[in-house]
Protein backbone atom coordinates (compact mmCIF):
# COMPACT_ATOMS: atom_id res chain seq x y z
CA UNK A 1 0.00 0.00 0.00
CA UNK A 2 2.80 2.46 0.89
CA UNK A 3 4.59 2.07 -2.45
CA UNK A 4 1.33 2.61 -4.33
CA UNK A 5 0.59 5.66 -2.21
CA UNK A 6 4.02 7.17 -2.85
CA UNK A 7 3.73 6.57 -6.60
CA UNK A 8 0.30 8.16 -6.76
CA UNK A 9 1.31 11.15 -4.67
CA UNK A 10 4.40 11.74 -6.78
CA UNK A 11 2.37 11.89 -9.97
CA UNK A 12 -0.29 14.03 -8.35
CA UNK A 13 2.24 16.79 -7.74
CA UNK A 14 2.32 17.52 -11.46
CA UNK A 15 0.57 20.87 -11.87
CA UNK A 16 -2.09 21.19 -14.53
CA UNK A 17 -1.57 23.77 -17.23
CA UNK A 18 -3.76 26.82 -16.64
CA UNK A 19 -5.73 28.13 -19.57
CA UNK A 20 -8.53 30.56 -20.25
CA UNK A 21 -10.72 28.08 -22.12
CA UNK A 22 -11.20 24.35 -22.11
CA UNK A 23 -11.77 23.21 -25.67
CA UNK A 24 -15.05 21.38 -26.20
CA UNK A 25 -15.19 20.06 -29.77
CA UNK A 26 -18.40 19.09 -31.53
CA UNK A 27 -17.39 16.78 -34.39
CA UNK A 28 -19.94 16.50 -37.17
CA UNK A 29 -20.29 15.07 -40.68
CA UNK A 30 -22.19 17.75 -42.66
CA UNK A 31 -23.27 15.19 -45.26
CA UNK A 32 -25.40 13.51 -42.58
CA UNK A 33 -26.22 16.32 -40.15
CA UNK A 34 -28.64 18.22 -42.34
CA UNK A 35 -30.07 15.35 -44.36
CA UNK A 36 -33.84 15.31 -43.90
CA UNK A 37 -34.65 12.40 -46.21
CA UNK A 38 -36.17 9.57 -44.19
CA UNK A 39 -37.06 7.48 -47.26
CA UNK A 40 -33.61 5.94 -47.36
CA UNK A 41 -32.59 2.74 -49.10
CA UNK A 42 -29.50 0.66 -48.50
CA UNK A 43 -26.69 1.74 -50.84
CA UNK A 44 -28.87 4.59 -52.06
CA UNK A 45 -27.56 7.30 -54.35
CA UNK A 46 -27.56 10.97 -53.46
CA UNK A 47 -30.80 11.34 -55.46
CA UNK A 48 -32.45 8.49 -53.58
CA UNK A 49 -31.15 9.19 -50.06
CA UNK A 50 -30.38 12.90 -50.03
CA UNK A 51 -27.42 14.74 -48.54
CA UNK A 52 -26.88 17.43 -45.95
CA UNK A 53 -25.33 20.75 -46.97
CA UNK A 54 -23.07 23.39 -45.46
CA UNK A 55 -26.09 25.69 -45.50
CA UNK A 56 -27.80 23.45 -42.94
CA UNK A 57 -25.44 24.92 -40.37
CA UNK A 58 -27.40 28.15 -40.18
CA UNK A 59 -27.41 30.54 -37.25
CA UNK A 60 -29.99 28.51 -35.33
CA UNK A 61 -28.12 25.21 -35.72
CA UNK A 62 -24.81 26.75 -34.68
CA UNK A 63 -26.34 28.46 -31.66
CA UNK A 64 -27.79 25.13 -30.51
CA UNK A 65 -24.35 23.54 -30.79
CA UNK A 66 -22.83 26.49 -28.95
CA UNK A 67 -25.46 26.23 -26.20
CA UNK A 68 -24.58 22.57 -25.76
CA UNK A 69 -21.22 23.77 -24.48
CA UNK A 70 -19.10 23.52 -27.62
CA UNK A 71 -16.28 25.97 -28.18
CA UNK A 72 -15.12 24.43 -31.47
CA UNK A 73 -16.83 22.60 -34.31
CA UNK A 74 -14.96 20.10 -36.45
CA UNK A 75 -16.59 19.81 -39.87
CA UNK A 76 -15.67 16.39 -41.25
CA UNK A 77 -15.37 15.87 -45.00
CA UNK A 78 -15.41 19.41 -46.35
CA UNK A 79 -12.56 18.95 -48.82
CA UNK A 80 -13.44 17.32 -52.14
CA UNK A 81 -13.12 13.56 -52.08
CA UNK A 82 -13.78 10.65 -54.43
CA UNK A 83 -17.45 9.76 -54.87
CA UNK A 84 -19.74 7.67 -57.04
CA UNK A 85 -21.89 10.73 -57.69
CA UNK A 86 -21.14 12.13 -61.13
CA UNK A 87 -20.30 15.84 -61.21
CA UNK A 88 -18.70 15.85 -64.67
CA UNK A 89 -21.16 18.50 -65.84
CA UNK A 90 -19.33 20.88 -63.48
CA UNK A 91 -15.90 19.99 -64.82
CA UNK A 92 -15.15 17.46 -62.06
CA UNK A 93 -14.03 14.13 -63.57
CA UNK A 94 -16.10 11.11 -62.53
CA UNK A 95 -14.46 8.52 -60.27
CA UNK A 96 -14.37 4.84 -61.12
CA UNK A 97 -16.78 3.09 -58.71
CA UNK A 98 -14.37 0.21 -58.05
CA UNK A 99 -12.07 2.48 -56.07
CA UNK A 100 -14.71 4.41 -54.14
CA UNK A 101 -15.99 3.05 -50.84
CA UNK A 102 -19.74 3.47 -50.75
CA UNK A 103 -21.95 5.64 -52.93
CA UNK A 104 -20.82 8.83 -51.18
CA UNK A 105 -17.18 7.84 -50.82
CA UNK A 106 -14.75 8.25 -47.95
CA UNK A 107 -14.03 11.83 -46.82
CA UNK A 108 -10.46 10.62 -46.37
CA UNK A 109 -9.88 9.80 -50.04
CA UNK A 110 -9.12 13.35 -51.12
CA UNK A 111 -9.60 14.07 -54.80
CA UNK A 112 -8.69 17.76 -54.85
CA UNK A 113 -6.94 19.40 -51.90
CA UNK A 114 -7.92 22.84 -53.18
CA UNK A 115 -11.66 22.39 -53.45
CA UNK A 116 -14.82 21.90 -51.38
CA UNK A 117 -16.83 18.72 -51.81
CA UNK A 118 -19.66 19.36 -54.29
CA UNK A 119 -22.06 17.15 -52.30
CA UNK A 120 -22.17 19.82 -49.61
CA UNK A 121 -23.11 22.80 -51.75
CA UNK A 122 -26.63 23.94 -52.56
CA UNK A 123 -25.21 25.30 -55.83
CA UNK A 124 -22.18 23.31 -56.94
CA UNK A 125 -20.48 26.18 -58.83
CA UNK A 126 -20.71 28.30 -55.65
CA UNK A 127 -19.25 25.71 -53.28
CA UNK A 128 -16.21 27.77 -52.25
CA UNK A 129 -18.40 30.81 -51.70
CA UNK A 130 -20.73 28.71 -49.54
CA UNK A 131 -17.70 27.52 -47.57
CA UNK A 132 -16.65 31.10 -46.86
CA UNK A 133 -20.16 31.83 -45.62
CA UNK A 134 -19.92 28.78 -43.34
CA UNK A 135 -16.70 30.13 -41.84
CA UNK A 136 -18.39 33.47 -41.21
CA UNK A 137 -21.51 31.92 -39.66
CA UNK A 138 -19.44 29.67 -37.43
CA UNK A 139 -17.46 32.58 -36.06
CA UNK A 140 -20.56 34.74 -35.69
CA UNK A 141 -22.04 32.00 -33.49
CA UNK A 142 -19.01 32.21 -31.20
CA UNK A 143 -17.51 28.92 -32.36
CA UNK A 144 -14.07 28.18 -33.74
CA UNK A 145 -13.77 26.06 -36.85
CA UNK A 146 -11.65 22.93 -37.38
CA UNK A 147 -11.31 21.10 -40.69
CA UNK A 148 -9.54 17.93 -41.76
CA UNK A 149 -6.07 17.83 -43.22
CA UNK A 150 -5.36 14.41 -44.74
CA UNK A 151 -1.61 14.28 -45.41
CA UNK A 152 -0.81 10.58 -45.71
CA UNK A 153 -2.87 9.52 -48.71
CA UNK A 154 -5.15 10.71 -51.50
CA UNK A 155 -7.78 9.16 -53.79
CA UNK A 156 -6.38 6.86 -56.45
CA UNK A 157 -7.62 9.21 -59.18
CA UNK A 158 -6.44 12.40 -57.49
CA UNK A 159 -6.51 15.40 -59.77
CA UNK A 160 -6.91 19.04 -58.78
CA UNK A 161 -9.07 21.20 -61.01
CA UNK A 162 -9.20 24.03 -58.51
CA UNK A 163 -5.49 24.43 -57.73
CA UNK A 164 -4.20 28.02 -57.89
CA UNK A 165 -2.43 29.13 -61.00
CA UNK A 166 1.16 27.91 -61.11
CA UNK A 167 0.61 24.96 -58.75
CA UNK A 168 1.94 21.68 -60.14
CA UNK A 169 -0.40 18.77 -59.39
CA UNK A 170 0.57 15.81 -57.24
CA UNK A 171 2.33 13.21 -59.38
CA UNK A 172 2.38 15.43 -62.44
CA UNK A 173 6.19 15.28 -62.76
CA UNK A 174 6.82 11.91 -61.07
CA UNK A 175 9.31 9.45 -62.57
CA UNK A 176 7.03 6.40 -62.60
CA UNK A 177 9.89 4.09 -63.60
CA UNK A 178 11.24 4.25 -60.04
CA UNK A 179 9.67 2.66 -56.99
CA UNK A 180 11.07 5.45 -54.85
CA UNK A 181 12.43 8.84 -55.74
CA UNK A 182 12.58 11.71 -53.20
CA UNK A 183 11.26 14.02 -55.91
CA UNK A 184 8.19 11.86 -56.56
CA UNK A 185 4.89 12.50 -54.83
CA UNK A 186 3.85 8.83 -54.96
CA UNK A 187 5.41 5.38 -54.56
CA UNK A 188 5.27 3.04 -57.57
CA UNK A 189 5.52 -0.65 -58.36
CA UNK A 190 7.27 -0.34 -61.75
CA UNK A 191 6.14 -2.72 -64.45
CA UNK A 192 3.18 -3.96 -62.40
CA UNK A 193 -0.51 -3.41 -63.04
CA UNK A 194 -2.81 -2.87 -60.07
CA UNK A 195 -4.81 -5.96 -59.22
CA UNK A 196 -6.38 -7.60 -56.22
CA UNK A 197 -9.31 -9.41 -54.65
CA UNK A 198 -11.70 -6.47 -55.02
CA UNK A 199 -13.89 -6.19 -58.10
CA UNK A 200 -12.13 -3.69 -60.37
CA UNK A 201 -15.24 -3.45 -62.55
CA UNK A 202 -17.88 -2.86 -59.87
CA UNK A 203 -20.60 -2.42 -62.46
CA UNK A 204 -18.60 -0.16 -64.77
CA UNK A 205 -18.18 -0.96 -68.47
CA UNK A 206 -14.40 -0.96 -68.17
CA UNK A 207 -12.37 -2.10 -65.16
CA UNK A 208 -10.27 0.36 -63.23
CA UNK A 209 -6.74 0.34 -64.57
CA UNK A 210 -3.59 1.66 -62.91
CA UNK A 211 -0.18 1.17 -64.48
CA UNK A 212 2.27 1.25 -62.96
CA UNK A 213 0.48 0.48 -59.72
CA UNK A 214 0.90 2.94 -56.85
CA UNK A 215 1.46 1.99 -53.22
CA UNK A 216 -1.72 1.94 -51.19
CA UNK A 217 -2.45 4.39 -48.37
CA UNK A 218 -2.13 1.88 -45.53
CA UNK A 219 1.54 1.32 -46.40
CA UNK A 220 1.02 -1.53 -48.83
CA UNK A 221 3.95 -1.37 -51.22
CA UNK A 222 2.86 -3.92 -53.78
CA UNK A 223 0.40 -4.08 -56.69
CA UNK A 224 -2.27 -6.12 -54.88
CA UNK A 225 -5.37 -4.92 -53.04
CA UNK A 226 -7.86 -6.59 -50.76
CA UNK A 227 -11.03 -5.45 -49.04
CA UNK A 228 -9.20 -4.83 -45.74
CA UNK A 229 -6.87 -2.28 -47.35
CA UNK A 230 -7.42 1.43 -47.72
CA UNK A 231 -7.67 0.38 -51.34
CA UNK A 232 -9.34 3.61 -52.46
CA UNK A 233 -6.20 5.61 -51.58
CA UNK A 234 -2.56 5.93 -52.59
CA UNK A 235 0.32 6.71 -50.25
CA UNK A 236 2.08 10.08 -50.45
CA UNK A 237 5.88 10.15 -50.53
CA UNK A 238 7.54 12.39 -47.95
CA UNK A 239 11.07 11.18 -48.71
CA UNK A 240 11.05 7.91 -46.73
CA UNK A 241 12.20 4.82 -48.64
CA UNK A 242 10.09 2.20 -46.88
CA UNK A 243 11.54 -0.71 -48.87
CA UNK A 244 15.12 0.14 -47.92
CA UNK A 245 15.19 0.21 -44.13
CA UNK A 246 12.98 3.31 -44.02
CA UNK A 247 15.92 5.45 -45.07
CA UNK A 248 15.16 9.17 -45.03
CA UNK A 249 15.90 11.58 -47.86
CA UNK A 250 15.01 15.03 -46.53
CA UNK A 251 17.77 17.13 -48.09
CA UNK A 252 16.90 18.81 -50.35
CA UNK A 253 13.34 19.29 -49.07
CA UNK A 254 11.12 16.68 -50.80
CA UNK A 255 8.65 18.05 -53.31
CA UNK A 256 5.68 16.65 -51.35
CA UNK A 257 6.67 18.73 -48.30
CA UNK A 258 6.39 21.96 -50.25
CA UNK A 259 3.09 20.97 -51.84
CA UNK A 260 1.49 19.99 -48.54
CA UNK A 261 2.72 23.09 -46.74
CA UNK A 262 1.16 25.22 -49.47
CA UNK A 263 -2.14 23.37 -49.05
CA UNK A 264 -2.09 24.14 -45.32
CA UNK A 265 -1.43 27.79 -46.11
CA UNK A 266 -4.29 27.83 -48.61
CA UNK A 267 -6.88 26.73 -46.03
CA UNK A 268 -5.39 28.72 -43.15
CA UNK A 269 -5.90 31.83 -45.25
CA UNK A 270 -9.64 31.06 -45.43
CA UNK A 271 -10.04 31.97 -41.78
CA UNK A 272 -10.31 28.54 -40.17
CA UNK A 273 -9.03 28.01 -36.62
CA UNK A 274 -7.44 24.59 -36.74
CA UNK A 275 -6.62 21.33 -38.48
CA UNK A 276 -7.38 17.82 -37.33
CA UNK A 277 -4.54 15.94 -39.04
CA UNK A 278 -5.52 12.46 -40.17
CA UNK A 279 -3.09 9.61 -39.34
CA UNK A 280 -0.40 12.14 -38.51
CA UNK A 281 2.05 9.51 -37.30
CA UNK A 282 2.15 7.91 -40.77
CA UNK A 283 3.84 11.10 -41.95
CA UNK A 284 7.45 11.66 -40.76
CA UNK A 285 7.68 13.91 -37.73
CA UNK A 286 10.37 15.90 -39.53
CA UNK A 287 7.75 17.21 -41.95
CA UNK A 288 5.56 18.52 -39.12
CA UNK A 289 8.59 20.06 -37.41
CA UNK A 290 9.30 21.91 -40.66
CA UNK A 291 5.75 22.79 -41.73
CA UNK A 292 3.76 23.71 -38.60
CA UNK A 293 6.04 26.59 -37.50
CA UNK A 294 5.83 28.04 -41.01
CA UNK A 295 2.03 28.06 -40.84
CA UNK A 296 1.98 29.44 -37.31
CA UNK A 297 4.38 32.22 -38.24
CA UNK A 298 1.46 33.93 -39.99
CA UNK A 299 -1.40 32.26 -38.10
CA UNK A 300 -0.10 31.86 -34.52
CA UNK A 301 -3.50 30.98 -33.03
CA UNK A 302 -4.11 28.11 -35.45
CA UNK A 303 -4.24 24.73 -33.68
CA UNK A 304 -3.00 21.37 -34.95
CA UNK A 305 -4.53 18.16 -33.60
CA UNK A 306 -2.86 14.86 -34.47
CA UNK A 307 -4.70 11.59 -34.90
CA UNK A 308 -2.10 9.28 -33.37
CA UNK A 309 -2.26 5.83 -31.80
CA UNK A 310 1.27 5.04 -30.66
CA UNK A 311 1.93 6.29 -27.08
CA UNK A 312 5.64 5.81 -27.67
CA UNK A 313 5.50 8.58 -30.28
CA UNK A 314 3.45 11.09 -28.26
CA UNK A 315 6.30 13.27 -27.06
CA UNK A 316 8.04 13.16 -30.41
CA UNK A 317 4.98 14.53 -32.21
CA UNK A 318 4.31 17.14 -29.50
CA UNK A 319 7.81 18.45 -28.93
CA UNK A 320 9.50 17.77 -32.27
CA UNK A 321 6.41 17.70 -34.45
CA UNK A 322 5.02 20.88 -32.86
CA UNK A 323 1.45 19.60 -32.51
CA UNK A 324 -0.81 21.29 -30.00
CA UNK A 325 -2.94 18.25 -29.14
CA UNK A 326 -2.98 14.49 -29.72
CA UNK A 327 -5.73 11.88 -29.70
CA UNK A 328 -5.82 9.95 -26.41
CA UNK A 329 -7.17 6.83 -28.08
CA UNK A 330 -4.68 4.21 -26.91
CA UNK A 331 -4.86 5.48 -23.33
CA UNK A 332 -7.98 6.96 -21.78
CA UNK A 333 -10.44 6.00 -24.54
CA UNK A 334 -9.44 2.34 -24.59
CA UNK A 335 -9.52 2.14 -20.79
CA UNK A 336 -12.89 3.87 -20.38
CA UNK A 337 -14.37 1.63 -23.04
CA UNK A 338 -13.03 -1.49 -21.32
CA UNK A 339 -14.31 -0.34 -17.93
CA UNK A 340 -17.73 0.51 -19.37
CA UNK A 341 -17.92 -2.94 -20.94
CA UNK A 342 -16.84 -4.64 -17.70
CA UNK A 343 -13.47 -5.83 -18.99
CA UNK A 344 -11.18 -3.67 -16.88
CA UNK A 345 -10.92 -2.10 -13.43
CA UNK A 346 -11.17 1.63 -12.69
CA UNK A 347 -7.77 1.34 -11.00
CA UNK A 348 -6.14 1.36 -14.45
CA UNK A 349 -7.14 5.02 -14.83
CA UNK A 350 -4.45 6.08 -12.37
CA UNK A 351 -1.70 4.51 -14.47
CA UNK A 352 -3.20 6.03 -17.60
CA UNK A 353 -2.78 9.64 -16.46
CA UNK A 354 0.50 8.88 -14.71
CA UNK A 355 1.97 7.46 -17.93
CA UNK A 356 1.35 10.80 -19.65
CA UNK A 357 3.58 12.49 -17.06
CA UNK A 358 3.26 16.15 -17.92
CA UNK A 359 1.52 16.02 -21.32
CA UNK A 360 -2.02 15.20 -20.17
CA UNK A 361 -3.16 18.76 -20.83
CA UNK A 362 -2.31 18.21 -24.52
CA UNK A 363 -4.37 15.06 -25.00
CA UNK A 364 -7.78 15.15 -26.69
CA UNK A 365 -10.31 13.05 -24.78
CA UNK A 366 -13.30 11.44 -26.49
CA UNK A 367 -15.65 8.47 -26.31
CA UNK A 368 -16.84 8.71 -29.91
CA UNK A 369 -15.52 9.78 -33.27
CA UNK A 370 -16.24 8.82 -36.87
CA UNK A 371 -13.86 5.83 -36.72
CA UNK A 372 -15.14 4.28 -33.50
CA UNK A 373 -18.30 2.43 -32.65
CA UNK A 374 -21.03 4.51 -31.09
CA UNK A 375 -21.10 4.68 -27.31
CA UNK A 376 -24.77 3.67 -27.32
CA UNK A 377 -24.30 0.84 -29.83
CA UNK A 378 -24.69 -2.84 -29.03
CA UNK A 379 -20.93 -3.15 -29.40
CA UNK A 380 -20.16 -0.66 -26.62
CA UNK A 381 -22.39 0.56 -23.77
CA UNK A 382 -25.74 -0.57 -25.17
CA UNK A 383 -27.37 2.82 -24.62
CA UNK A 384 -26.27 6.39 -24.07
CA UNK A 385 -27.07 6.46 -20.35
CA UNK A 386 -24.66 3.60 -19.66
CA UNK A 387 -21.87 5.85 -20.95
CA UNK A 388 -22.48 8.63 -18.43
CA UNK A 389 -19.72 7.75 -15.91
CA UNK A 390 -17.12 7.45 -18.65
CA UNK A 391 -18.22 10.75 -20.17
CA UNK A 392 -17.93 12.54 -16.83
CA UNK A 393 -14.34 11.35 -16.49
CA UNK A 394 -13.50 12.19 -20.10
CA UNK A 395 -14.80 15.75 -19.68
CA UNK A 396 -13.65 16.65 -16.16
CA UNK A 397 -10.47 14.73 -15.37
CA UNK A 398 -8.14 17.42 -16.69
CA UNK A 399 -7.90 20.80 -18.37
CA UNK A 400 -7.36 19.20 -21.78
CA UNK A 401 -9.82 19.28 -24.70
CA UNK A 402 -12.82 16.96 -24.87
CA UNK A 403 -14.74 15.98 -27.99
CA UNK A 404 -18.17 14.50 -28.69
CA UNK A 405 -19.49 13.19 -32.01
CA UNK A 406 -22.80 14.52 -33.27
CA UNK A 407 -25.69 12.45 -31.98
CA UNK A 408 -23.71 11.21 -28.98
CA UNK A 409 -25.62 13.67 -26.82
CA UNK A 410 -28.87 12.01 -27.95
CA UNK A 411 -27.77 8.41 -27.55
CA UNK A 412 -27.45 7.76 -31.29
CA UNK A 413 -26.81 4.02 -31.61
CA UNK A 414 -25.27 3.71 -35.06
CA UNK A 415 -26.99 0.37 -35.60
CA UNK A 416 -28.34 1.09 -39.10
CA UNK A 417 -27.40 -0.93 -42.17
CA UNK A 418 -26.57 2.00 -44.41
CA UNK A 419 -24.72 0.34 -47.27
CA UNK A 420 -20.97 -0.04 -47.55
CA UNK A 421 -20.59 0.54 -43.82
CA UNK A 422 -22.90 -2.31 -42.79
CA UNK A 423 -24.45 -2.78 -39.35
CA UNK A 424 -21.27 -2.25 -37.38
CA UNK A 425 -22.23 0.16 -34.59
CA UNK A 426 -20.77 3.11 -36.48
CA UNK A 427 -22.46 5.95 -38.29
CA UNK A 428 -21.37 5.52 -41.89
CA UNK A 429 -18.87 7.91 -43.43
CA UNK A 430 -19.22 6.16 -46.80
CA UNK A 431 -22.96 6.31 -47.50
CA UNK A 432 -25.72 8.84 -48.07
CA UNK A 433 -27.90 8.49 -44.99
CA UNK A 434 -29.97 10.22 -42.32
CA UNK A 435 -29.03 10.06 -38.64
CA UNK A 436 -32.30 9.34 -36.84
CA UNK A 437 -31.75 11.20 -33.55
CA UNK A 438 -30.27 14.23 -35.27
CA UNK A 439 -33.11 14.26 -37.81
CA UNK A 440 -35.74 14.27 -35.05
CA UNK A 441 -33.88 16.88 -32.96
CA UNK A 442 -33.37 19.16 -35.98
CA UNK A 443 -37.10 19.02 -36.69
CA UNK A 444 -36.79 20.80 -40.04
CA UNK A 445 -34.43 23.40 -38.61
CA UNK A 446 -36.51 24.22 -35.53
CA UNK A 447 -34.31 22.21 -33.11
CA UNK A 448 -36.89 21.12 -30.56
CA UNK A 449 -37.55 18.20 -28.21
CA UNK A 450 -40.92 17.55 -29.85
CA UNK A 451 -39.91 14.27 -31.51
CA UNK A 452 -37.37 13.09 -28.93
CA UNK A 453 -38.29 10.54 -26.29
CA UNK A 454 -37.84 11.10 -22.57
CA UNK A 455 -34.50 9.30 -22.34
CA UNK A 456 -33.06 11.25 -25.27
CA UNK A 457 -34.16 14.55 -23.72
CA UNK A 458 -32.64 13.59 -20.36
CA UNK A 459 -29.38 12.51 -21.96
CA UNK A 460 -29.06 15.74 -23.92
CA UNK A 461 -29.72 17.72 -20.74
CA UNK A 462 -26.92 15.77 -19.06
CA UNK A 463 -24.49 16.56 -21.87
CA UNK A 464 -25.48 20.21 -21.86
CA UNK A 465 -24.89 20.53 -18.12
CA UNK A 466 -21.62 18.64 -18.28
CA UNK A 467 -20.15 20.40 -21.31
CA UNK A 468 -21.19 23.92 -20.30
CA UNK A 469 -19.75 23.17 -16.88
CA UNK A 470 -16.35 22.55 -18.47
CA UNK A 471 -15.87 26.29 -18.98
CA UNK A 472 -18.26 27.68 -16.38
CA UNK A 473 -16.41 25.93 -13.54
CA UNK A 474 -12.85 27.18 -13.33
CA UNK A 475 -11.83 24.14 -11.27
CA UNK A 476 -12.53 22.02 -14.38
CA UNK A 477 -11.32 24.58 -16.89
CA UNK A 478 -7.97 25.28 -15.25
CA UNK A 479 -7.78 23.59 -11.88
CA UNK A 480 -5.52 21.02 -10.26
CA UNK A 481 -6.33 17.31 -10.09
CA UNK A 482 -5.96 14.84 -7.24
CA UNK A 483 -6.65 11.14 -7.81
CA UNK A 484 -8.21 9.49 -4.73
CA UNK A 485 -7.80 5.90 -5.92
CA UNK A 486 -4.81 4.98 -3.75
CA UNK A 487 -6.70 5.97 -0.58
CA UNK A 488 -9.66 3.77 -1.47
CA UNK A 489 -8.07 0.41 -2.26
CA UNK A 490 -9.50 -2.77 -0.70
CA UNK A 491 -12.07 -0.92 1.34
CA UNK A 492 -15.44 -2.22 2.45
CA UNK A 493 -17.39 0.83 1.34
CA UNK A 494 -15.73 1.68 -1.96
CA UNK A 495 -15.23 -0.72 -4.87
CA UNK A 496 -12.14 0.63 -6.57
CA UNK A 497 -12.85 -1.57 -9.60
CA UNK A 498 -16.26 0.00 -10.25
CA UNK A 499 -15.97 3.48 -8.73
CA UNK A 500 -13.51 6.29 -9.40
CA UNK A 501 -13.11 9.47 -7.36
CA UNK A 502 -10.97 12.58 -7.63
CA UNK A 503 -10.76 16.22 -6.62
CA UNK A 504 -10.44 19.31 -8.82
CA UNK A 505 -9.52 22.64 -7.24
CA UNK A 506 -8.91 26.21 -8.37
CA UNK A 507 -8.70 29.18 -6.00
CA UNK A 508 -11.70 28.91 -3.67
CA UNK A 509 -13.60 26.34 -5.73
CA UNK A 510 -13.33 22.66 -4.81
CA UNK A 511 -15.02 19.80 -6.66
CA UNK A 512 -15.41 16.21 -5.50
CA UNK A 513 -16.15 14.03 -8.53
CA UNK A 514 -17.26 10.43 -8.07
CA UNK A 515 -18.60 8.00 -10.70
CA UNK A 516 -20.17 4.56 -10.47
CA UNK A 517 -19.84 1.97 -13.25
CA UNK A 518 -21.95 -0.62 -11.41
CA UNK A 519 -25.25 -1.63 -12.93
CA UNK A 520 -27.02 -0.90 -9.64
CA UNK A 521 -27.14 1.97 -7.10
CA UNK A 522 -24.43 2.06 -4.45
CA UNK A 523 -23.87 3.59 -1.02
CA UNK A 524 -20.18 4.38 -0.75
CA UNK A 525 -17.76 6.17 1.55
CA UNK A 526 -14.81 7.97 -0.03
CA UNK A 527 -11.56 8.29 1.90
CA UNK A 528 -9.66 11.57 1.49
CA UNK A 529 -5.99 11.31 2.59
CA UNK A 530 -4.29 14.07 4.55
CA UNK A 531 -1.99 14.58 1.58
CA UNK A 532 -4.93 15.77 -0.52
CA UNK A 533 -5.62 18.57 1.98
CA UNK A 534 -1.94 19.50 2.15
CA UNK A 535 -1.36 19.38 -1.60
CA UNK A 536 -4.46 21.36 -2.54
CA UNK A 537 -4.18 23.74 0.41
CA UNK A 538 -7.67 23.09 1.75
CA UNK A 539 -8.84 22.87 5.36
CA UNK A 540 -10.99 20.07 6.75
CA UNK A 541 -14.63 20.67 5.82
CA UNK A 542 -17.38 19.79 8.28
CA UNK A 543 -21.06 19.81 7.34
CA UNK A 544 -20.87 22.60 4.82
CA UNK A 545 -23.37 23.63 2.09
CA UNK A 546 -22.59 22.00 -1.25
CA UNK A 547 -24.14 21.89 -4.70
CA UNK A 548 -24.35 18.83 -6.92
CA UNK A 549 -23.77 20.35 -10.34
CA UNK A 550 -25.25 17.66 -12.60
CA UNK A 551 -28.61 17.44 -10.85
CA UNK A 552 -28.49 21.08 -9.73
CA UNK A 553 -29.48 20.05 -6.22
CA UNK A 554 -28.05 21.22 -2.90
CA UNK A 555 -27.02 19.42 0.24
CA UNK A 556 -24.38 19.36 2.96
CA UNK A 557 -21.03 17.66 2.80
CA UNK A 558 -18.07 16.88 5.06
CA UNK A 559 -14.59 16.33 3.67
CA UNK A 560 -12.28 15.15 6.45
CA UNK A 561 -8.93 13.35 6.49
CA UNK A 562 -9.95 11.04 9.30
CA UNK A 563 -13.51 10.17 8.30
CA UNK A 564 -14.85 8.88 4.98
CA UNK A 565 -17.39 10.94 3.05
CA UNK A 566 -20.62 9.02 2.50
CA UNK A 567 -22.38 9.29 -0.86
CA UNK A 568 -25.17 7.57 -2.76
CA UNK A 569 -24.85 7.03 -6.50
CA UNK A 570 -27.37 5.67 -8.98
CA UNK A 571 -26.42 2.93 -11.43
CA UNK A 572 -24.07 4.02 -14.22
CA UNK A 573 -23.92 7.59 -12.93
CA UNK A 574 -21.79 10.21 -11.29
CA UNK A 575 -21.90 13.25 -9.07
CA UNK A 576 -19.93 16.48 -9.08
CA UNK A 577 -20.12 18.16 -5.69
CA UNK A 578 -18.96 21.78 -5.43
CA UNK A 579 -17.93 23.44 -2.18
CA UNK A 580 -16.83 27.06 -1.86
CA UNK A 581 -13.74 27.51 0.30
CA UNK A 582 -13.77 31.29 0.77
CA UNK A 583 -15.85 31.33 3.96
CA UNK A 584 -13.75 28.55 5.46
CA UNK A 585 -10.51 30.44 4.87
CA UNK A 586 -11.99 33.58 6.37
CA UNK A 587 -12.82 31.59 9.48
Instruction: Kindly report the number of other CB atoms within 10 A of residue 95's CB atom.
Output: 23
**Three-class DSSP labels, 116-149:** ECHHHCCCHHHHHHHHHHHHHHHHHCCCEEEEEE
Please say whether the beta carbons of 413 and 459 come within 8 A.
no
Q: In the prediction, which pLDDT does 3 show? A: 34
For the chain, give me the number of helices (H) and strands (E)? 16, 26
CA-closest candidate to residue 323, choices 366, 275, 357:
275
Q: Going by DSSP bridges, is the β-strand pair 72-75/24-28 parallel, antiparallel, or unpaired?
A: parallel
Consecutive 10-residue averages of pLDDT for the chain (587 residues): 34 40 98 95 98 98 98 98 98 97 98 98 98 98 98 98 97 98 98 93 91 98 95 98 97 98 98 98 98 98 97 97 97 98 98 95 98 98 98 97 98 97 96 98 97 98 98 97 96 93 97 98 97 97 97 96 96 97 65
- In terms of C-beta density within 10 A (0-12 exposed, 13-18 middle, 19 or more buried), how is residue 583 classed? exposed
Q: Say if residue 116 is preceded by a cis peptide, omega within 30 of 0.
A: no
CA-CA-CA-CA torsion sign (96, 97, 102, 104) = positive
Q: In the prediction, which pLDDT does 44 show? A: 97
Amino acid sequence: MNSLKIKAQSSERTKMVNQKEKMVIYAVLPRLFGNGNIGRIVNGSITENGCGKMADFDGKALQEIKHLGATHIWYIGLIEHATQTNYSQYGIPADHPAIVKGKAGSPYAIKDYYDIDPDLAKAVPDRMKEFRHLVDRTHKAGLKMIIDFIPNHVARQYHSNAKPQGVIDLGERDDTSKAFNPSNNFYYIPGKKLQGSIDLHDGAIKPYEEFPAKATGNDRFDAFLNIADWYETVKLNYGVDYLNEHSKHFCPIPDTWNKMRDILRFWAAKGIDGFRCDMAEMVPVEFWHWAIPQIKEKYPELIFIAEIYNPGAYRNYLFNGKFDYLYDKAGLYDSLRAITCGRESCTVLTSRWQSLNGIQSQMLNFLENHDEQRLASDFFAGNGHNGIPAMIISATMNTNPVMIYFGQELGERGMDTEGFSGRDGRTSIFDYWTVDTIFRWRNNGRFTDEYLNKKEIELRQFYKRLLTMCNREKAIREGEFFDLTYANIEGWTFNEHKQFAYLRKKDNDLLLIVVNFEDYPVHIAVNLPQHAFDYLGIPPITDRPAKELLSETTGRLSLLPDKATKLTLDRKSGKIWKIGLESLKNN
